[in-house]
């Protein structure tokens, strides 16, 4: 069972790697656009999350307003990953 | 400077394995995109594409040479044969003839087959023909061999602009006197498991349809195929009484020198302006633009901005035939050159199919969902590649 705290830590670590920042500089409340993550950085982060948790994240860069997976904030990413982990365990 | 004209065209693509079938599909607005049928397609998350249908290789090619031909080469040979037959050139061009073809992925299915054998199936050897099949210049070299063209022969690879760059270089060879005739265009056969898997990772493939410039577009749809055009010095063509389809009037290219994937409207506009200027035309002379129009959010918005920058408040009609034949990557400019030749010779603009409703960020007349009669006398064909490389051709009636 993966805890929410573990997921949050992994999300922040992955974002930090893409942004070349120390993880401590990414707040759990951060908005992704405010962090300056570009479009390629975003798909790389999604790939890293999929590999880390063994999930498939539904995301199409052409539909930013209709995300099946909300990538707006750290907490929304954690919510989404938690949901997909639960689904994959079903 | 010698003027250059088109005296033959050939194509294989998702719409048809020849020019008459492709012209009919462009006139009808028929879409060639459908379910992917190759091995392991069920392991993809995106399962549509513009596959070349009904393509038994047997019977089309010399059986002794067929083992040398990846599909990327097969498509080029078939399109090249059609173009040469239309041009009616006598054999013996020798070093006054050449070949420049674009391809982005070359023989990618041959790479895949070899890796599958040694990595997935535990084998310890691959076909001895692996290298000559997969090399990017294989299609150009086989056309030179089959047609006895011993002048300038090479391949060009600039992702989605490969074919337009190839045709631009072919135009320059004839203009500067290095050849009288050039077979040119592009070929691509990326619709295999590894090819689509790689694109999936970018998260820009549409799962349903290619809807360029439309609200609700979800990205691009990959297609396969080849387009080969016979470019010929006008004096050479007239001297032998050849049928002239159109003039290759101009070529312009530019680089964004910015982002590796995100397009820059300024770079696209510079390439369009350069092509118009090279053709000795003004923007008002251009009656149609065959757009790059991939159906991604970013390309279509950027391209619309660039077209408005070049043409001002009254841009000509613009359509993206990728909505029908798919995005044939390194071949797409050649398929779209064929669409431009359709527009100029038939007086009909091919449509943008799958169009649902206008996107305020793409304020253009995109010839939605039905072909339209037009007395177009000059047109542009845009290609804007990942890597920020832009290549635009201008074609005109003679």
User: Which ipTM was obtained for this model?
Assistant: 0.85
Q: Among A81-90, B81-90, B107-116, B118-127, name the one with the lowest average pLDDT.
A: A81-90
Q: Does A40 touch chain B (CB under 8 A)?
A: yes
Q: What's the sign of the alpha-carbon dihedral B2, B3, B9, B15? A: positive
pLDDT band at B342 (very low <50, low <70, confident <90, very high): very high
pLDDT (0 to 100) of residue B394: 99
The answer to whether B392 touches B281, Cβ cutoff 8 Å, is no
Tokens 């005109």 found at: B396
The answer to whether B29 touches B353, Cβ cutoff 8 Å, is yes
Range of the domain at B276: 251-396
Whether residue B150 sits in one domain with residue B255: no
How many cross-chain Cβ pairs, A to B, lie less than 8 Å apart?
Answer: 38
The answer to whether A41 touches A19, Cβ cutoff 8 Å, is yes
Whether residue B255 sits in one domain with residue B235: no
User: B207, B239, B271 — which closes off a domain?
Assistant: B239
CA distances from B77 to A85, B98, B186, B234 (A): 50, 14, 11, 25
Does B292 qualify as catalytic in the annotation?
yes
In whole numbers, what is the pLDDT of chain B averaged over residues? 97
- The structural domain count of chain B equals 2
Question: Pairing between strand B246-255 and B288-290?
Answer: unpaired
pLDDT (0 to 100) of residue A68: 80
Whether residue B318 sits in one domain with residue B192: no
Summarize the confidence of residues B61-81 as an average pLDDT. Answer: 97
pLDDT digits (tens, 9 = 90+) for B292-337: 999 999 999 999 999 999 999 999 999 999 999 999 999 999 999 9
Summarize the confidence of residues B374-387 as an average pLDDT. Answer: 98
pLDDT (0 to 100) of residue A63: 84
Summarize the confidence of residues A43-50 as an average pLDDT. Answer: 95
Summarize the confidence of residues B230-255 as an average pLDDT. Answer: 98
Whether residue B190 sits in one domain with residue B328: no
pLDDT band at B218 (very low <50, low <70, confident <90, very high): very high
Q: Does B389 touch chain A (CB under 8 A)?
A: no
pLDDT (0 to 100) of residue A1: 74
pLDDT (0 to 100) of residue A89: 81
pLDDT (0 to 100) of residue B42: 97
Summarize the confidence of residues B28-42 as an average pLDDT. Answer: 98
Summarize the confidence of residues A40-68 as an average pLDDT. Answer: 90
Distance (Å, whole) CA A4 – CA B340:
56
Summarize the confidence of residues B162-188 as an average pLDDT. Answer: 98
3-state SS string for chain B: CCCEEEEEEEEEECCCCCHHHHHHHHHHCCCCCEECCCCCHHHCCCCEEECCCCCCCCCCCCCCCHHHCCHHHHHHHHHHHHHHHHHCCCCCCECCEEEEEECCCCCHHHHHHHHHHHHHCCCCCCCCCHHHHHCCCHHHHHHHHHHCECCCEEEECECECHHHHHHHHHHHHHHCCCCCEEEEEEEECCCCHHHHHHHHCCCCECCCCCCCCECCCCCECEECEEEEEEEEEHHHHHHCCCCCCEEEEEEEEEECCCCCCCCCHHHHHHHHHHHHHHCCCCHHHCCEEECCCCCCHHHHHHHHHHHHHHHCCCCCCEECCHHHHCECHHHHHHHHHHHHHHHHHHCEECCECCCCCECCCCCCCCCECCCEECCCCEEEEEEEECCCEEEEEEEECC
Contact B297 A40 (CB under 8 A): no
Q: Is the pLDDT of residue A64 over 90?
A: no
Does B160 qualify as catalytic in the annotation?
yes
pLDDT (0 to 100) of residue B1: 84
- Taking only residues 297 to 326 of chain B, the set having a beta carbon closer than 8 angstroms to any beta carbon of chain A reads 297-298
Whether residue B270 sits in one domain with residue B128: no
Summarize the confidence of residues A15-32 as an average pLDDT. Answer: 94
Task: Tell me which long-range contacts A35-44 makes (C-beta under 8 A, separation of at least 24).
Answer: A38/B259, A38/B262, A39/B261, A39/B262, A39/B298, A40/B260, A40/B261, A42/A71, A43/B201, A43/B202, A43/B203, A44/A18
* B8 CA to centre of own chain: 15
Q: What is the CATH number of the domain that holds B303?
A: 3.40.47.10
pLDDT digits (tens, 9 = 90+) for B111-145: 999 999 999 999 999 999 999 999 999 999 999 99
Task: Collect all residues of chain A within an 8 Å Cβ-Cβ radius of residue B297.
Answer: 61-64
Percentage above 70 pLDDT, chain A: 100
Residue B244 lies in a domain: no
Residue with more model confidence, A38 or B77 = B77
The answer to whether B318 touches B308, Cβ cutoff 8 Å, is no
User: B216, B239, B262 — which closes off a domain?
Assistant: B239
Whether residue B258 sits in one domain with residue B217: no
The answer to whether B11 touches B334, Cβ cutoff 8 Å, is yes
Residue with more model confidence, A71 or B378 = B378
Whether residue B276 sits in one domain with residue B226: no
pLDDT (0 to 100) of residue B25: 98
Residue B115 lies in a domain: yes
Percentage above 90 pLDDT, chain B: 99
B56 Cβ neighbours under 8 A, 6+ residues apart: none
Q: Among A60-64, B121-125, B146-150, name the one with the lowest average pLDDT.
A: A60-64
Whether residue B260 sits in one domain with residue B153: no
CA distances from B386 to A79, B21, B106, B371, B389 (A): 33, 31, 17, 29, 7
Residue B231 lies in a domain: yes
Whether residue B274 sits in one domain with residue B227: no
Distance (Å, whole) CA B292 – CA B312:
19
Choose from A41, A58, A60 for mutation: most chain B CBs within 10 A.
A60
pLDDT band at A88 (very low <50, low <70, confident <90, very high): confident
pLDDT (0 to 100) of residue B220: 98
Whether residue B167 sits in one domain with residue B59: yes
pLDDT band at B70 (very low <50, low <70, confident <90, very high): very high
Q: Is the pLDDT of residue B172 over 90?
A: yes
The answer to whether B232 touches B187, Cβ cutoff 8 Å, is no
Residue B246 lies in a domain: no
pLDDT (0 to 100) of residue B56: 87
Q: Is residue A26 helix, strand or coil?
A: coil
Separation in Å, CA of A62 to nearest CA in chain B: 5
User: B217, B239, B261 — which closes off a domain?
Assistant: B239
pLDDT (0 to 100) of residue B350: 98
Domains belonging to chain A, first-starting first, are 4-89 (1.10.1200.10)
Whether residue B306 sits in one domain with residue B214: no
- Taking only residues 62 to 81 of chain A, the set having a beta carbon closer than 8 angstroms to any beta carbon of chain B reads 62-64
- Quote the tokens at residue B121: 């199936």
Residue B27 lies in a domain: yes
Tokens 């990413």 found at: A77
Q: Does B201 touch chain A (CB under 8 A)?
A: yes
Residue B133 lies in a domain: yes
Whether residue B273 sits in one domain with residue B158: no
């Amino acid at each position: 069972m993966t805890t929410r705290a573990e997921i949050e830590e992994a999300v922040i670590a992955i974002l930090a790697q893409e942004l070349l920042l120390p993880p401590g500089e990414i707040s759990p409340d951060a908005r992704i656009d405010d962090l300056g993550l570009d479009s390629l950085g975003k798909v790389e982060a999604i790939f890293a999350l999929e590999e880390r948790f063994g999930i498939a994240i539904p995301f199409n860069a052409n539909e930013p307003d209709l995300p099946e997976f909300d990538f707006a904030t750290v907490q929304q990413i954690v919510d989404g990953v938690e949901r997909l982990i639960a689904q994959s365990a079903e | 400077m010698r003027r250059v004209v088109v005296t033959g065209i050939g194509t294989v693509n998702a719409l048809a394995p020849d020019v008459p079938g492709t012209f009919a599909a462009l006139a009808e607005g028929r879409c060639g995109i459908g379910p992917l049928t190759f091995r392991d397609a069920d392991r993809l998350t995106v399962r549509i594409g513009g596959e070349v249908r009904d393509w038994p290789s047997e019977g089309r090619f010399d059986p002794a040479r067929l083992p040398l031909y990846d599909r990327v080469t097969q498509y080029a040979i078939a399109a090249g044969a059609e173009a040469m037959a239309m041009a009616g050139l006598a054999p013996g061009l020798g070093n006054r003839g050449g070949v420049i073809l674009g391809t982005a992925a070359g023989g990618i299915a041959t790479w895949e087959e070899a890796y599958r054998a040694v990595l997935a199936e535990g084998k310890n050897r691959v076909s001895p023909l692996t290298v000559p099949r997969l090399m990017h210049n294989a299609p150009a070299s086989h056309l030179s061999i089959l047609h006895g063209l011993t002048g300038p022969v090479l391949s060009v690879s600039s992702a989605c602009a490969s074919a337009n760059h190839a045709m631009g270089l072919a135009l320059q060879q004839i203009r500067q006197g290095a050849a009288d005739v050039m077979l040119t265009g592009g070929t691509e056969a990326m619709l295999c498991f590894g090819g689509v898997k790689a694109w999936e990772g970018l998260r820009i493939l549409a799962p349903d349809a290619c809807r360029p410039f439309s609200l609700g577009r979800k990205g691009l749809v990959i297609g396969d195929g080849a387009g080969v055009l016979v470019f010929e010095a006008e004096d050479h063509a007239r001297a032998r009484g050849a049928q002239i389809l159109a003039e290759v009037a101009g070529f312009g290219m530019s680089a964004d020198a910015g982002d590796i994937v995100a397009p820059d409207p300024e770079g696209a506009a510079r390439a369009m302006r350069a092509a118009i200027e090279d053709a000795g035309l003004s923007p008002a002379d251009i009656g149609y633009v065959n757009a790059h129009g991939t159906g991604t959010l970013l390309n279509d918005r950027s391209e619309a901005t660039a077209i408005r920058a070049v043409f001002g408040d009254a841009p000509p009609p613009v359509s993206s035939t990728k909505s029908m034949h798919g995005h044939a990557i390194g071949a797409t400019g050649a398929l779209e050159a064929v669409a431009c030749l359709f527009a100029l010779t038939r007086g009909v603009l091919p449509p943008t199919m799958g169009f649902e409703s206008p996107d305020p960020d793409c304020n253009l007349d995109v010839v939605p969902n039905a072909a339209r009669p037009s007395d177009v006398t000059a047109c542009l064909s845009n290609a804007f590649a990942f890597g920020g490389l832009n290549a635009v051709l201008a074609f005109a009636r003679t």
